[in-house]
Amino acid sequence: MNAFDFLEKINDDIHRYVGKLDEFQAEDLGLDRRAAYRLYVDSDRTCIVASKGDDRSLQYYGGFEYVDKEYRQEMGDWVFYFAEDDRVQRHLDRLNEELEDEETDPGFATEA
């Protein structure tokens, strides 16, 4: 296998992985809606994933240009931001609050 095929396989694997993550809109994480068309979060809520296409606006409108480079990883067509950075953690906390509010809001209950 040549290097191009190897890297393409890795990118395909990452794409499949990201496709299994929970998908959210920027507002769900307390971000400006212009920050990203869609974002992905792992089930443990330790990472926010954006496509490379959304990363530029996530950095500009979401302030992710200030995320410590140690906690930002580009892989294939994707950019991973890890919760070890305070900014990323704040947005994950906001998402958790949103999800908890939905679970406890009686307006979301279905009638029997």
DSSP letters along 21-89, please? SEEE-GGGGT--GGG-S-EEE-TTS-EEEEEHHHHHHHHHHH-GGGS-GGGEEEETTEEEEETTSHHHH
pLDDT at residue 64 greater than cutoff 70: yes
Average pLDDT, the chain: 92
> Does the pLDDT at position 69 exceed 70?
yes
**How many CB atoms lie under 10 A from the CB of residue 3?**
7
Residue 20 confidence (pLDDT): 97
pLDDT in tens, 17-47: 999 999 999 999 999 999 999 999 999 999 9
